[in-house]
Structure formats: structure tokens, C-alpha cells
């Protein structure tokens, strides 16, 4: 049965009805496949992520959302035995090209993880870390970045008196917003978020969602989520993935109300997942 579905998957065409952003495409995922050793995890995916919009990746557990997201900034490079096929282009440059500098690629892609992972240093040092590893030493620039990004991450008012304190002393929600601040500190082109709210309580979740809505337009955001309401609330476009393949990529409202694929329909109405 599984085998059958996979076979179907490879041949099934993706349904497209996505909303185009004012500035066009920023990331172009073109016929992208990925193998963990012998096991194929992603199958010929093709979508264009629109600049300045929020794109949500939804789908049942294990369908490859994280894998796709981590391919965008090549975090998967750390895994041994990984192979890819096809292309992913950032501003029309293939990121798997031989002469691409992975480090500068990652600097253009901020990333927020499922579990908050602040570094064991002070709040201010956490935020300035991306600049420091980039060689920025100017105190004024760093101080200015701390204030700007913490305000940008809606954390400034809560921590402005304790910037020198250890970041591990913050609450979980605060820690996650600190991680968002850290991700936007180097002014990346794209912000990647892998289930940023799954470890948080509902109140902290709402704060992060508000924050995403505020960041819309300033950054291109790709967010993986398990929570369909959340996808509906924060995203402009939604991609539904199933068994390593993007089944449907379209305007969020349409995906949730009148999906173009039966599988999407089944998933968003809660028939499986």
C-alpha cells in the first residue's frame, strides 16, 4: 500500500494556485529531490517562494517538511550520506553550486528551530552573535543592532534592563523570541522557521504569531507548522506536503477552503494526519 502511494506520488502533478508577491520569486525550488543514504525523502518538488510573503509548509508528520526547510540553508550538509537532485535557487543562484560559500548563504537565511536554543551567554551577546562571527566589532553598531532586533522581535520592553544577564534565565517564549531576534539580526533575505511554537504555551504562541505578522513584508518567511489554524492565521501561501512531495501550493485561504487536490482536502478537514 505504502509502495503504491509512493509510486503515485512520483507521478502526481502538483496543483498550483499561489499568490504572487509584489517583488516576484526569491527562492526557486526546481525539481528538487533528496536522499538520506538509499532512502528518498523528497520527490521532484517544484515551487517558487514569493519575496516578502509568508509561506507555510504543512503536512503529516514525517512527510519531509523539515528536510525541505533545512535544505534551503543547507543545514542538511551535516548529515553523512546525504544526496540531492535538482536545484534550489536563491535570487537565481543555485545554492548547491560548487562555488557557493555555505557560510555566506546561511548568513542570508536566518533560522529558528523547534526548541528554543539560546546560546549560554548574555541576552545581548546572543543577538549580536551573527554579527560577531561576521567580524563586526564596532560597539555602536552592535548596541544599535541589539535594540533594533529586540524591538523587532517584540522582546525589548521585557529585557531592556537585563541585557547583560544570561539568556538561559528567560522563559521559553521569551527564549524563542530571542532566537527570532538572533535570526533577523544579520538582516537576512529569508527567515526559516521550523515549528517555532510547538514547544510553547498558547499565550507565547500568540505573541510569536503576532510577531510573524509584523515581520511580514520586511522578510520572506517560510514556516513549518503542524497547526493548521496557525498556517491559516499567519501565511499568504501554503504548501501541502505528503510523503516527500508537494501536492498543492496555493493561496492559503483557497488551500483551506477549496483545495485543488483530494489529498489536501482530506488533510485539512482532518481525515488523516
Partner 1 sequence: MNLLKKPVKSGESFKNTSMAARGEPALWTMGGTLALGVLMIIAFLILVVWNGIITFYPGGIEQIILNDGSMIAGEIRRSESYRPSDDILKTVNTEWKEKIRRNKGVAERTLFKTGNYDLYNEDFKWVDEFNIRERTNPENIYYFERVEWGPFIGFIEKVELGGRTDIRPENLADRLESEHEKAVERRQKIGVIEKKKISDINHSLEEERLELKRVELAEGVDSDPYREAKQAYQEKTETLMAKYKKLQDEAENLKQENSQFKLTLKEIGGQKKTLLLSEIVRFYAANQLSLLDKLGVYFSRWLEFLTAEPREANTEGGVMPAIFGTLTMTLLLVMAVAPFGVVAALYLREYAKQGHLVSVVRISVNNLAGVPSIVYGVFGLGFFAYTIGGSIDTLFYPEKLPNPTFGTGGLLWASLTLALLTVPVVIVATEEALAAVPQSLREGSLACGASKWQTIKNIVIPKALPGILTGLILAMARGAGEVAPLMLVGVVKMAPELPFDGYFPFVHLERSFMHLGFHIFDVGFQSRNAEAGKPMVFVTTLLLITLVAVMNAVSIHIRNRLNRRFSAGHF
153: its cell numbers: 522581535
The gap between the terminal CA atoms of the chain, to the nearest Å, is 17
DSSP β-ladder status, 15-17 and 245-251: parallel
Residue nearest to ligand ATP (CB): 66
DSSP β-ladder status, 220-224 and 237-242: unpaired
Helix boundaries (H) for 90-236:
102-107, 123-133, 139-152, 156-159, 172-185, 202-215, 228-234
CB of 259 to ligand ATP, least distance (A): 19
45: its cell numbers: 518538488
Consecutive H or E run containing 223: strand 220-224
User: Residue 5 or residue 121: which is nearer to partner 1 going by CB?
Assistant: 121
Neighbours of 233 (CB within 10 A): 17
Which option in partner 1, ligand ATP, Mg ion, none does residue 1 bind, with CB closer than 5 to 8 A by kind? Answer: none
Dihedral angle sign, alpha carbons of residues 52, 16, 48, 177:
positive
What residues from 142 to 181 belong to the interface with ligand ATP (CB under 6 A)? none
66 touches Mg ion by CB under 5 A = yes
Q: Torsions phi, psi of 189, nearest 5? A: -80, -35
71 touches Mg ion by CB under 5 A = no
* Piece of the chain touching Mg ion by CB under 5 A; list 16-24, 32-40, 62-70, 125-133: 62-70
79 touches ligand ATP by CB under 6 A = yes
User: Residue 21 or residue 110: which is nearer to partner 1 going by CB?
Assistant: 110
* Piece of the chain touching ligand ATP by CB under 6 A; list 43-51, 58-66, 230-238, 258-266: 58-66
76 touches Mg ion by CB under 5 A = no
Q: Which residues pair with 87 in a beta bridge?
A: 30
User: Residue 109 or residue 159: which is nearer to Mg ion going by CB?
Assistant: 109
Among 40, 44, 66, 220, binds ligand ATP (CB under 6 A): 66
Which option in partner 1, ligand ATP, Mg ion, none does residue 36 bind, with CB closer than 5 to 8 A by kind? Answer: ligand ATP
User: Residue 170 or residue 221: which is nearer to partner 1 going by CB?
Assistant: 170
Q: Which residues bind ligand ATP (CB under 6 A)?
A: 36, 39, 41, 61-67, 79, 226
Amino acid at each position: 500500500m505504502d509502495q503504491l502511494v509512493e509510486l503515485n506520488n512520483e507521478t502526481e502533478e502538483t496543483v498550483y494556485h499561489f499568490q504572487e508577491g509584489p517583488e516576484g520569486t526569491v527562492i526557486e525550488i526546481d525539481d528538487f529531490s533528496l536522499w538520506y543514504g538509499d532512502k528518498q525523502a523528497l520527490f521532484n518538488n517544484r515551487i517558487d517562494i514569493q519575496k516578502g510573503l509568508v509561506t507555510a509548509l504543512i503536512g503529516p508528520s514525517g512527510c519531509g517538511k523539515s528536510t525541505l526547510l533545512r535544505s534551503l540553508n543547507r543545514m542538511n550538509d551535516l548529515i553523512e550520506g546525504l544526496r540531492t537532485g535538482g536545484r534550489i535557487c536563491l535570487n537565481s543562484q543555485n545554492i548547491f553550486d560548487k562555488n557557493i560559500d555555505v557560510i555566506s548563504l546561511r548568513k542570508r537565511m536566518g533560522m529558528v528551530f523547534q526548541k528554543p536554543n539560546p546560546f549560554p551567554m548574555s541576552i545581548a551577546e546572543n543577538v549580536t552573535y551573527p554579527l560577531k562571527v561576521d567580524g563586526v566589532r564596532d560597539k555602536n553598531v552592535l548596541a544599535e543592532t541589539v535594540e533594533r532586533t529586540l524591538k523587532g522581535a517584540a522582546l525589548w520592553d521585557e529585557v531592556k534592563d537585563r541585557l547583560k544577564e544570561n539568556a538561559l534565565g528567560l522563559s521559553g517564549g521569551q527564549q524563542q523570541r530571542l532566537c527570532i531576534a538572533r535570526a533577523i539580526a544579520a538582516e537576512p533575505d529569508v527567515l526559516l522557521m521550523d515549528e517555532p511554537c510547538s514547544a510553547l504555551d498558547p499565550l507565547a504562541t500568540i505573541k510569536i504569531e503576532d510577531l510573524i505578522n509584523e515581520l511580514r513584508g520586511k522578510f520572506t518567511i517560510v514556516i513549518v507548522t503542524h497547526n493548521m489554524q496557525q498556517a491559516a492565521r499567519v501565511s499568504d501561501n501554503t504548501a501541502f506536503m505528503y510523503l516527500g512531495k508537494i501536492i498543492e501550493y496555493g493561496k492559503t485561504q483557497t488551500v483551506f477552503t477549496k483545495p485543488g487536490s483530494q489529498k489536501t482536502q482530506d488533510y485539512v478537514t482532518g481525515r488523516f494526519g
